[in-house]
Amino acid sequence: MSEFCTPVKPKAKIEDGEKISIPPSPFLHRLGYGTGVSVMQLVRSPKAGQIRSPWALKMLNKRVKPNKVYTDRLQAEAELLQRMSHPNIVGFRAFGKNKILYLGMEACDLSLGDMIEKKVEENCDPFTVKQMLKVAMDIGKALDYLHTKMQILHGDMKSYNVLVNGDFQICKLCDFGVTLPLDENGIFDKENAKNVLYYGTEAWSAPEVINGGVISNKTDVWSLGLTIWEMMALMPPHSQTDDTLDYTIDSEADESMLQDHVFERYGTRPDVPANIAEQEYAGPLALFWCCTETAPAARPTAQHLAAAAEDMYTVFL
């Protein structure tokens, strides 16, 4: 089987699946966290002399009291993940809701967000052009599958929701807890999603989210453009400082003013980082610029973005 394929088990009822024993949290390695949930690594014991791959378990955070909102959201994500089958989307493994509520998923090596943090800690250079193109290509394909085959918007595209195996052998999209339905034209289908709002993460949000406008499949494309920018800047979008401003904070009023200035940047295209040579990074920059056009109609579809990235990527093969 190709290294780029995610084995998919035969579909079963969501309550079915392998019975697993989950050790206490202190014995689990935390892979990540989100609103009300933690993602932990479960190292499964060998079975019949065979080594079994680890799982990633998304579970309710112990600080959060179990409630119907989180339970329903996790079950909806499990049901969605079980219906999907794509090499660039994290694979479903199990779902349980008896003593412990959990969603079992394929475990990958690291999130792109964690890799960015590690580069900052070790004072490393930005990611290579090849690595940026690989992310754009793989995640573009994942988004195209979501937008066209599943007719849903991911809704929270960012580096922490991109999983990477090895030295960028393959990248996979994860975290489908805030997806939105799309109609046949790729527009947010409000008729089938009453009382459902776009959540996302503000720093990665498109202009139509921040300023009010039509949410569509192009909203995910904007966020993927900012994810490419993250790989250049090694920081979240809009977190860079402005040398023309005084950031000395002496009071709550100063802090509030700084927060307002940062918020004003949301939904805009960040400047190219000063250490990025435009000629060397021409390919990723071209993708970043087209993804972050203010008008959604001017942005490429995920399919066109993936194809363009793949054409550029073949130079490195």
- 155 has a pLDDT exceeding 70: yes
pLDDT band at 10; cut points 50, 70, 90: very low
| End-to-end alpha carbon distance in the chain | 21
pLDDT given at position 56: 83
pTM for the structure as a whole: 0.82
156 is catalytic: yes
User: Is residue 170 within 8 Å of 88, Cβ to Cβ?
Assistant: yes
pLDDT band at 7; cut points 50, 70, 90: very low
Non-local (6+) Cβ contacts of 252 within 8 A are none
**Active-site residue among 138, 144, 156, 220?**
156
- 50 has a pLDDT exceeding 60: yes
- 55 has a pLDDT exceeding 60: yes
Among residues of the chain, what percentage have pLDDT more than 70?
A: 75
Among residues of the chain, what percentage have pLDDT more than 90?
A: 58
Domains along the chain?
25-106 (3.30.200.20), 110-316 (1.10.510.10)
157 or 70, which is more confident: 157
| The two three-digit tokens of residue 163, written as one number | 């999983």
Model confidence pLDDT, tens digit, residues 98-150: 677 888 899 888 999 999 999 999 999 999 999 999 999 999 999 999 999 99
User: Is residue 286 within 8 Å of 121, Cβ to Cβ?
Assistant: no
pLDDT band at 215; cut points 50, 70, 90: very high
pLDDT given at position 317: 80
